[in-house]
Amino acid sequence: MHTLPALLDKINAYAAANPFPPAPRELYDPCDYILTLGGKRLRPALVLMAYELFQDNVDQALPAAWAVELFHNFTLMHDDIMDAAPLRRGKPTVHTKWSATAGILSGDAMLIHAYRHLARFDDSVIVADLLDTFNRVAIEVCEGQQYDLNFETRHDVTLPEYIRMIELKTAVLLGGALEMGAMCARAHENQSAHLYEFGRLAGIAFQIQDDLLDTYGDPAKFGKQVGGDILQNKKTFLVLKTLEVASGADRHELEYWMKTGPDLPVKISAVRDIFNRNGIPDLVTAEKRRYQAEAFGHFDAVEVPETRKVPLRGMMEELLVREY
């Protein structure tokens, strides 16, 4: 078993030992670029930690782990084009630094290279299982992105629809990463199923927390501009919960602000006041904790000694501890 930093070292060593082909550079420079923008390598770490619940030779799971990281970066590259995002982690996005064409084609290449790494596992029965999970999750991520795009122009999005969207767009990949790690370790099917549910439910909790932090986070720790979602009129969990529980007057005031432009800093405190007087922070925190508790119930059901669970439990708890 390894600590998180030791696993991250392994992931980065695998990536360095298995670079993209040397040419054409116009295709692979954007891939190298996005991979060095300082992502936390959370998803490949999940693959390896799930593997280490069951087996010791974690290097076996490195190709699957890297496949998941490449897939994630493929989605970032294409999503940035669709969202017309100028910056990612404070650096120019690929389509800004190069072109939309570069972002499309390099993203495609990165997705296919993800499949190449996946195919490297030395047992074809496991490769077929990994492929099934990877495909299922990858399609769901695309479907989630489509729902997210649809929501931008819809005015009747419900809270269950929103939860389903964040589940597809981000949570299933965390579940899939854990499931694939368990598969590489040849864990029993019901063990990998519990791990999938652990990741999926923790992922939903994490996204709810993300919505909370965007409005209520400590600016010094949050890294992004606090209140950004409010300025952009994003239909977050907080907004949808307010529309569900608030009085007519508060709903109308919220709807009024959500029709104003993004250059109105006063909007942040006004909308935050609406949230506050409707008890939204506590309601949303309770929802997050409900998903979190259900997630850890599945983790508890994984039948390995508790000592084996320490690194994965620690990382997931740390991810979910950042309350406002």
Binding site for a second copy (CB under 8 A): 21, 23-24, 26-27, 78, 81-82, 100-101, 104-105, 107-109, 111-113, 115-116, 119, 124-125, 127-128, 131-132, 135, 138-139, 142-143, 145-147, 149-150
Q: Quote the CA–CA distance of 81 and 85 in Å, as a whole number.
A: 7
Please measure the distance between the N-terminal and C-terminal CA atoms of the chain and give it in whole angstroms. Answer: 33
What does each C-alpha distance from 315 to 44, 113, 303, 319 come to in angstroms? 13, 28, 19, 6
Q: Which CB sits closer to a second copy, 162 or 291?
A: 162
Q: Which CB sits closer to a second copy, 144 or 217?
A: 144
CA angle 166, 169, 170 (to 5 degrees): 80
CA Rg, the chain, in Å?
Answer: 20
What does each C-alpha distance from 225 to 77, 137, 221, 265, 284 come to in angstroms? 22, 31, 10, 11, 20
Least distance in angstroms from the C-beta of 192 to a second copy: 17
Q: Which CB sits closer to a second copy, 27 or 258?
A: 27
Q: Which residue has the tokens 């965007």?
A: 214
Least distance in angstroms from the C-beta of 129 to a second copy: 8
Q: Which CB sits closer to a second copy, 7 or 180?
A: 180
Least distance in angstroms from the C-beta of 201 to a second copy: 23
5 C-beta neighbours (distance < 10 Å), count:
9
Least distance in angstroms from the C-beta of 125 to a second copy: 5
Least distance in angstroms from the C-beta of 153 to a second copy: 10
Least distance in angstroms from the C-beta of 149 to a second copy: 7
Give me the amino acid identity at 127.
V
Q: What are 68's two structure tokens?
A: 């998941």
What does each C-alpha distance from 97 to 107, 133, 156 come to in angstroms? 14, 33, 36
Q: Which CB sits closer to a second copy, 143 or 250?
A: 143
Least distance in angstroms from the C-beta of 150 to a second copy: 6
Q: Which CB sits closer to a second copy, 52 or 140?
A: 140
Q: Which CB sits closer to a second copy, 147 or 296?
A: 147
Q: Quote the CA–CA distance of 30 and 47 in Å, as a whole number.
A: 25
